[in-house]
Structure 1
Amino acid sequence: MGRQLVPLTLDNLSDLPGRCRACVFWELDPVSGEAAVRAGRPEVEKESWISAVLLEWGSCGRVVYVDEKPVGFVLYAPPAYVPRSFAFPTSPVSPDAVQLMTAWLMPEYQGQGLGRVIVQTVAKDLLRRGFKAIEAFGDARWSAPACLVPADHLVSVGFKTVRPHHSYPRMRLELRSTISWRVDVERALDQLLGAVQKDRVLRPL
C-alpha cells in the first residue's frame, strides 16, 4: 500500500472533501465566516486564504494519498493566520507554536497509524522551519466529524493539555519529543528485518 503526504497547494485543493473545501471555520473570524456563507463564497475565501498563507508563510497543509487516492488531510498555520483561534476560551496559542487547525481521515483508513504519520510529517516540517511546538484546540465532546480534532486523538499521538477546559482544552506537542519517534520506528524496523533475515537463515529451503 503506497502512502504519500503531499503539500497542500491550490492545485490539489480539489482533493479535499467538498464540505471541507467550503468550510472557512478557521480561516475567517466568526462574523466574516457567516457573511461568506451567506454570500455563497466560502470556497473562494478558502482558496484566497490558502494562497495568501502559501505566499507569506509557506506550506500550511498536507493531503494524504493511499495508492494515489486522497483519503485525508491536515491544515496548520501560525495563529496570526487563524482568526477563529482567538474566539476560543482557552486561547491564545503560545507564541512559539504553530496551530494544528484540523485533520481528517476517511473512516476506512483510520486505526492504521496514519494519524500518527500525519503528525510526524507536520512536526518534521515545523522543526525544519524553527518552531518549538504544535498546539491545537481539542474537542473533548467530539461525536462526529467536525472542524476540531478529538481531544482523545490528540492525546494518543503525543499532545498534552496545557490549558484544561470541559469542551475545548488547548493541547501541545513539544516538537523535540517527536525526534524519538523516528528512532523508535527505525529500531522496530531493524528488529523486524532482523527477525525476517534470521527466519530465512534457519528455515530449510
Structure 2
Amino acid sequence: MGRQLVPLTLDNLPDLPDPCRRCAFWELGPVGGEPVAGNGYSATEKEAWISTVLLEWGSCGRVLYVDNTAVGFVLYAPPAYVPRSRSFPTSPVSLDAVQLITALVLPHYQSQGLGRVIIQTVAKDVMRRGFRAVEAFGDLRWSEPNCVLPADYLLAVGFKTVRSHRALPRLRLDLRSTLSWREDVERAWGQLIGAVQKDPILRPL
C-alpha cells in the first residue's frame, strides 16, 4: 500500500472528493458567489482560482493518495486570494500569515494521524516561503463536513485562538515557536509509511 501527499494542480483537481471539487465557497466573495453556485458554474470558478494562484503565488494545496486513490486534501493561500474570508466576523487574517482554507480526510482514513501530517506539511511549506504563521477560521458548532474546519480539530493540531467568537473564532499556528516542524513532518510521515509496510490493511473506524 502506498501513500503520497502531492501538490495540487489542475491535473489532479478532479481527484478531489465531491462536493469539494465543485465547491467555490472560499474562492468567491459572498456577493458574487451565490449566483455562480446557483448557475452551476462553481467548478469552473474553482479551476480558474487554482490556475490564478498557481501562476501568481505557487502551490496552494496538497492531495493525499492511498493506492492512487485520493482520500484527502488541503487548500491554503495568502488571505488576499480568499475573498470569502473577509465576510467572517473574526476577519481579517493577519498579513504575516497564510490562510488554511479547508482540509478533508475521508472518514475511512481518519484516526491514523493523516490530518496532522497534512497540517505539518502545510506549515513546512509556509515556513519555506517566509511566512510567520498559518491562520484559519474554526467552526465551534461543527457537526458534519463543510467548508469551515472544526475548531476542535485546529486546536488539536496546535492552533491557538487569536480572536474569539461564539461560533467562528480565528485561530493561529505561530511558526516562530515551532522550529521542530520540519523534523516532526519527516518523523510523522516516516512512521506512517513504516506502519503501512508492517500492516498493509486499513481497518475501518
Give the count of matched residue pairs.
Answer: 189
**Residues 40 and 152 (structure 1), Cα distance of their counterparts in 2 relative to 1, 3 Å cut:** same
Give the structure 2 partner of residue 118 of structure 1: 118
8 Å CA contact retained: 1:120, 1:178? no
Q: Contact between 2:117 and 2:188, CA under 8 Å: does it hold in 1?
A: no
Secondary structure at 1:48's aligned position in 2? helix
Worse overlay, 16-25 or 90-99: 16-25
**Identical-residue share of aligned pairs (%):** 72
Determine helix, strand or coil for the equivalent of 1:59: coil
Task: Give the match for residue 158 of structure 1.
Answer: 158
Determine if contact 1:4/1:64 at 8 Å carries over to the other structure: yes
C-alpha contact 1:102 1:148 (8 A) present in aligned 2: yes
Displacement of 1:35: 1.3
Moved over 4 A (4+): 181-189
* Higher Cα radius of gyration: 1
Q: 1:187 to 1:25 in 2, by over 3 A?
A: closer
For residues 147-167 of structure 1, the C-alpha deviation after alignment (integer angstroms, 9 at most, x for no partner) is 011000001100000001110
Q: 1:184 to 1:4 in 2, by over 3 A?
A: closer
Secondary structure of 1:18's counterpart equals coil
Residues 1:130 and 2:130 are matched in the alignment:
yes
Q: TM-score, normalised by structure 1?
A: 0.87
CA distance in 2, matches of 1:186, 1:59: 20
State the 1:182 CA deviation.
4.6
| Residue 17 of structure 1: aligned partner | 17
Per-residue CA shift, 1:168-193, capped at 9, x if unaligned?
0100001234432454677899xxxx
Structure 2 unmatched runs, 5+: 190-205
Match of 2:76 in 1: 76
TM-score normalised per structure 2? 0.87
Residue 60 of structure 1, CA deviation: 0.4
Q: CA RMSD in A?
A: 1.8
Distance across 2 between alignment mates of 1:45 and 1:181: 34
Larger RCO, structure (CA 8 Å, separation 6 or more)? 2
Asked whether 1:87 is paired with 2:77, we answer no
Alignment of 1:1-205 (within 5 A): 1-183=1-183
Shift of 1:67: 2.2
- State how far apart, in whole Å, the 1-side matches of 2:42 and 2:11 are: 18
